[in-house]
């Protein structure tokens, strides 16, 4: 086997960042929804998948990738709004498990509907022409599209941060995350806030799915594996913490990338073992709220 040069390790690190970027986007939505609504969205992977398929659909109408970047999160977010309003809202107050169970069933339904509408075998998704090819980043050639993914993720994070920190709605969200009771007492319609948070969270998931499509193609089952891995990210980072999701997402991406360098077979076990360790030693993860009771 060829020697492990510093260049190769650096390249692998970069690859880990690109991998982590998708995890981050996916986990942010999951974390937001959990932090605000205390709902574990088992259908998050299905929303991710729908984002990718929405991209396929729009492209088939002659649209281009840039339009998709805007249209897909809008479409998926709207669908997310409907789901929250009609399926999840009736379950609040019934116990923390019910929304989880509902989204679990919902994921089966969504995946099967997509199979019926688009077929079982999936679609290839071409990298947009202008983003094809590789660039020399100093330590080697790195695919241009992956750099774009890192960039797009950073842009979304920035937008989200600005929204949360600088707008009044963002203020409500942050307050609601800290203490929903007080927010309600102050006259805010919490139900509407939760509706919008769910919409935002699922919109970001759909966006992540669209970004992932050129990397691995589009199949109905694509949400399943990333969901399990994203749970790891959300738990390690801390349920409800955006910063935690970012840090943990990148960490997990790099861990997977590095273990595949040294011991590829241990890749999957390593992240679940990591998740178990964190849950046992420090259940709230890096930045999560301690003592999150049922």
Partner 1 sequence: MTRKTTKSGSISRRRLLTTASAGAALAVSPLRINLLRAQEANIKIGFPVPLTGPYGTEAQDQVRAGQLAVAQFNDGGGLNGRKAELVVRDDKLNPGEAATRTLELVEKEKVNFVVGSLSAAVQLAINNVTKERGIIFNSISQSDTINEASDFSRFTFHEALNPHLTSGAVGRYAFSKFGKKVAFLTADYAYGHEMVRGFLEVGKAFNIENLGDIRHPIGTSDFSTLLPRIQALKPDILCISNFGRDQQIVLKQATDFGIKKTTQIIAPLLSHASRVAAGPQAFDGVIGGCSFYWGIEDKFASTKAFNDAFKKMYDGRLPSDYGALGYGGVSAVLAAVKNAGSVDTDKVIAALEALKYDFYKGPQYYRKCDHQSVQSVLVIKSKSKDMRNESDVFEVISTDEPNEANLRTCAELGHKA
Partner 2 sequence: MKVKFRGMNEITRPQQRGAATRVSWFQFATEHRASIASLVVLVFPLVMPFTALAVNILIYGLYALGFNLVYGYLGLLSFGHAALFGTGAYLCGIAIAHFALPWFVSIAVGILGGLLMAALIGVLAIRTRGIYFAMVTMALSQCVYYLFYQAVDWTGGENGLRGINVRVIDILGVKLDFINPLTRYYVIAVFVIAAFFVLSRILASPFGAVIEAVRENETRAKASGYDVTLTRLITFILSGGFCGLAGALQALHLSIVPIEILHYDTSGIVVMIALLGGMGTFFGPMVGAAAFLLLENLVSLWTVHWQLIVGAIFMICVLFFPAGIWGTLISRGKP
- Interface ranges with partner 2 (CB under 8 A): 34, 38, 40, 87, 90-91, 94, 96-98, 100-102, 104-109, 111-113, 115-116, 228, 231-232, 235, 239, 265, 268-269, 272-273, 275-276, 279-280, 283, 291-294
The reply to whether 182 sits near partner 1 by the rule CB under 8 A is no
Q: Judged by CB, which is closer to partner 1: 140, or 283?
A: 140
* Residue 96 partner contact from partner 2, partner 1, none using kind-dependent CB cut-offs of 5 to 8 Å: partner 2
Residue 212: closest CA among 12, 14, 52, 1: 52
* Residue 232 partner contact from partner 1, partner 2, none using kind-dependent CB cut-offs of 5 to 8 Å: partner 2
Residue 229: closest CA among 274, 282, 279, 289: 274
In whole angstroms, the minimum distance from the beta carbon of 228 to partner 2 comes to 7
Q: Are strands 141-143 and 134-136 parallel, antiparallel or unpaired?
A: antiparallel
Rounded to whole angstroms, how far apart are CA atoms 16 and 76? 27
Whole-Å CA distances, 43 to 23, 96, 149, 198, 226: 16, 16, 23, 12, 11
* Residue 90 partner contact from partner 1, partner 2, none using kind-dependent CB cut-offs of 5 to 8 Å: partner 2
In whole angstroms, the minimum distance from the beta carbon of 80 to partner 2 comes to 16
Residue from 64, 108, 126, 282 in contact with partner 1 (CB under 8 A):
126
| Sign of the CA dihedral running 40, 208, 76, 214 | negative
Of 36-44, 130-138, 171-179, 196-204, the segment contacting partner 1 by CB under 8 A is 130-138
Rounded to whole angstroms, how far apart are CA atoms 294 and 142? 45
Residue 257: closest CA among 14, 5, 27, 28: 14
In whole angstroms, the minimum distance from the beta carbon of 211 to partner 1 comes to 12
Q: Are 63 and 75 in contact (CB under 8 A)?
A: no
Q: Where does this chain bind partner 1 (CB under 8 A)? A: 1-2, 5, 8, 11-12, 15-16, 18-19, 119-124, 126-127, 132-134, 140-141, 143, 145-146, 212, 215-217, 219, 221-222, 225-226, 256-257, 260-261, 264-265, 267-268
């Amino acid at each position: 086997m060829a020697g492990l040069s510093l260049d190769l390790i650096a390249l692998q690190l970069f690859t880990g960042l690109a991998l982590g970027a998708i995890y981050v986007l996916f986990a942010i939505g999951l974390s937001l929804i959990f932090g605000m609504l205390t709902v574990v969205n088992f259908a998050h992977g299905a929303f991710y998948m729908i984002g990718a398929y929405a991209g396929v659909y729009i492209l088939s109408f002659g649209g281009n990738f840039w339009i998709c970047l805007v249209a897909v999160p809008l479409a998926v977010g709207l669908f997310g709004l409907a789901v929250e309003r009609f399926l999840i809202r009736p379950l609040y107050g019934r116990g923390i498990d019910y929304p989880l169970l509902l989204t679990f069933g919902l994921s089966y339904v969504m995946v099967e509907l997509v199979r019926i509408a688009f077929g079982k075998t999936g679609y290839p998704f071409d990298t947009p022409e202008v983003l094809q090819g590789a660039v020399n980043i100093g330590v080697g050639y790195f695919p241009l599209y992956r750099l774009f993914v890192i960039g797009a993720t950073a842009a979304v994070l920035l937008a989200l941060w600005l929204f949360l920190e600088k707008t009044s709605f963002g203020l409500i969200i942050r307050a609601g995350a800290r203490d929903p009771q007080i927010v309600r007492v102050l006259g805010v319609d919490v139900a509407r806030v939760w509706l919008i948070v769910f919409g935002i969270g699922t919109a970001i998931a759909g966006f992540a799915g669209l970004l992932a499509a050129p990397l691995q193609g589009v199949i109905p089952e694509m949400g399943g594996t990333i969901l399990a891995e994203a749970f790891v990210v959300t738990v390690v980072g801390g349920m409800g913490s955006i910063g935690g999701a970012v840090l943990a997402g990148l960490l997990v991406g790099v861990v997977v990338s590095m273990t595949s360098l040294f011991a590829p077979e241990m890749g999957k076990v390593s992240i679940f073992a990591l998740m178990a360790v964190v849950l046992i030693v420090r259940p709230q993860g890096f930045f999560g709220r301690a003592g999150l009771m049922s």
